[in-house]
Chains A and B, each alone.
Chain A
Amino acid sequence: MLALRDLSVTFRGYPVLRNLSFDLASGETLGLVGESGSGKSMTALALMGLLPPGFEAKGSIRLRGTELLGLPDKALCRLRGRAMAMIFQEPMTALNPVLTVGAQIAEGLVLHGLMDPRAAMAEAIRLMERVGLPDPARRARSYPHELSGGQRQRAMIAMAISCRPAVLIADEPTSALDVSLQVEILALLREIRAETGMAMIFISHDLSVISAMADRALVLYGGLAMESGPVRPVIDRPAHPYTQGLIAAIPRGTAHTHRLSPIRGQVPDLASLPPGCPFAGRCTLGDARCAGTPPPLRSGLTQIHCHHAEPVPA
């Protein structure tokens, strides 16, 4: 349904995303994993046609056969919300502070000509009930600041699913929430996915959240896909040194008995990435070839971009 081919994004000549390719079928969830600056949010913005000024995208994004890259703004507007919708980490900045929550949820339905305002408001209240907001008829007249963090996130989910999008992009939707709320929101997203059959792109830095939500995982670093494949092998039997490092760095045991194995060095800024593998400078296997030449794609149980590591045989 959604097909990315060699999607590259540059900012003032610096690569932000490099030749990203993946397919997504209805009902399927792809987990995008990465640290800050890995390009995961840029991927989401490129998909939505919302790249900030100065960013240039090349390659191909096809949604149900329609090429999205280079589509005029007006046509994109018709697709946004209907074909693709997005939820963000911080609902307070994504919601309009001077509009009631109900009006914001209903807005998309009216804008896309699906319902008249009265029916749209009734649908908004139904959606608010569906996402578990208490007393939805009254809550619909509330402003975002009157809702708690978890309630705002529920309202944003209601808004995103109002026009039954084919693809829902969730960018760190639970990272700003307490763990107990996080569990509830993830459960809600799974239920809605099952009900609507929509495809999801789930973005997170947290591998455990990815493992709970995604069918497949794609690990990004410095704008390049380090490893991708079915979620279990990527997490349980990673082949790429970066994925291995990420998993080894998760705190486990106690400091008295178990020393953590961090990845050495710092997450580099985009301007200082080598032309070859972006992970070259921090990798235990990295050498001159890694820094100079983009790594080849190799397939096994998972797919990796690496000069040295062997893919786990399928």
Chain B
Amino acid sequence: MIPLLEARHLHHAYPLPRQGLFERRRRIEAVRDVSFRLEEGRTLGIVGESGSGKSTLARLLVALEKPRGGEVLFRGERISGLPEKRIRPVRPLMQMIFQDPFGSLDPRMRIGESIAEPLGVAEPWLEAGERAGRVAAMLEKVGLQPAMMSRYPHQFSGGQRQRIAIARALITRPALLVADEPVSALDVSVQAQILNLLFDLKLEFGLSLVVISHDLAVVRYLCDEVIVMEGGRVVEQAETGRLFAAPQAAYTRALMAAMPLPPDARPGTDPAGGDISPG
């Protein structure tokens, strides 16, 4: 079967500021030789500390940046390194949400307009009434009232704004959703609401998810398989159950030892009945 998303030997580097007039411009290798396959309906977690290259990898996956080496395939077709015109038809199928929903929503746009905006590109033939109907239905799906459509982002709390960002991302019925630290900025009590919502919508829409997080508990909760990154490289890649039961790389073990969870919720001693066995 052709995977939904495939990365083949991805490389990316950012130039560093020139040290002197005649110095060679040096680069920082943000992503080094990353390869994986993501099947339809599966969830992949990308874990690592700041500077490990996980956000750069995410941007490469949805073609927001062109890799310096390697390629990204979406349903078997190469999408990396193409001119924007040729990527555009695929864009509605790959959406992204970010850590700070306040930064990703236009503060001067009513949230109904923000949510409808991607539809104008994906399905420009829709009439105004149909568009409004789609927005209302989507708002209900993310747990907000359709009447909230005419409000502005500042009138919502952090959790509600993340719901709005999710609505905007899913309105074009994408096959892939890349979520970069989707709950890191939220309070604990609200975090769980958004995690439940993401999982429900993933099942309902048959989505494939890529979840980037520094929080291993979040990744273990949502993801079927996990990539652990350090310094731009993949140091470990495994099914979630296996990774948590028997982490191989020293770096993964260090991350797990530092995992901020109350002792009763540590892997292996989960009294809440959470599944920790592989598969």
Binding site for B on A (CB under 8 A): 35-36, 178-180, 182-183, 205-209, 211, 235-236, 245-247, 249-264, 266-267, 282
Contact = CB atoms under 8 A, between A and B. Distances in A.
Contacts, number: 117
A21 to B, nearest CB: 25
B189 A249 contact: yes
Which one of B192, B196, B258 has the highest number of Cβ atoms from chain A below 10 Å of its Cβ?
B192
Interface stretch (B15-23, B125-133, B265-273): B265-273
Contacts of A257: 273-275
20 contacts: A36-B158, A179-B49, A179-B214, A205-B187, A205-B188, A207-B262, A208-B261, A211-B262, A246-B189, A249-B189, A249-B192, A252-B221, A252-B261, A253-B221, A253-B274, A254-B222, A255-B199, A257-B273, A263-B190, A267-B187
B197 to A, nearest CB: 9
Given A180-B49, A260-B221, A253 B188 contact: no
A266 B274 contact: no
Nearest 6 interchain pairs by C-beta: A253-B274, A262-B192, A263-B189, A179-B258, A178-B49, A35-B187
B174 interface: no
Contacts of B191: 249, 251, 262
B274 A249 contact: no
Nearest to A245: B189
B193 interface: yes
Which one of B221, B254, B261, B262 has the highest number of Cβ atoms from chain A below 10 Å of its Cβ?
B262
Nearest to B217: A251
A255 B195 contact: yes
Nearest to B199: A255
B190 A266 contact: yes
Contact of A251 (B195, B258, B273): B195
A170 to B, nearest CB: 16
Contact of A209 (B157, B215, B218, B260): B260
Which one of B188, B199, B259 has the highest number of Cβ atoms from chain A below 10 Å of its Cβ?
B188
Interface of B: 49-50, 157-160, 187-193, 195-196, 199, 214-215, 217-218, 220-222, 240-241, 254-255, 257-265, 270, 272-276
Given A179-B214, A180-B49, A250-B217, A258 B188 contact: no
| Majority DSSP secondary structure for residues of B touching A | helix
Contacts of A206: 260
Contacts of A253: 220-221, 270, 272-276
| Majority DSSP secondary structure for residues of A touching B | loop
Contact of A183 (B241, B258, B261): B258
Contacts of B217: 250-252
A261 B191 CA distance: 10
B274 to A, nearest CB: 2
Contacts of B241: 254
Nearest to A37: B187
Contacts of B214: 178-179
Given A179-B260, A255-B222, A260-B221, 19 more contacts: A35-B189, A36-B187, A235-B262, A247-B262, A249-B189, A249-B191, A250-B217, A250-B262, A253-B276, A254-B220, A254-B222, A255-B199, A257-B273, A257-B274, A258-B274, A262-B190, A263-B192, A264-B193, A266-B159
Given A205-B188, A249-B191, A179 B199 contact: no
A251 B267 CA distance: 11
Contacts of B220: 251, 253-254
Which one of B157, B218, B241 has the highest number of Cβ atoms from chain A below 10 Å of its Cβ?
B157
Contacts of A264: 193
A208 B257 CA distance: 13
Contacts of A252: 217, 221, 261, 265, 270, 272, 274
Contacts of B263: 211
Nearest to B256: A179
Nearest to A209: B260
Contacts of A36: 158, 187
Nearest to A181: B49
A267 B222 contact: no
A36 B188 CA distance: 10
A267 B189 CA distance: 8
Given A179-B258, A180-B254, A251-B195, A266 B270 contact: no
Nearest to A262: B192
A247 to B, nearest CB: 7
A68 B270 CA distance: 45
A203 to B, nearest CB: 15
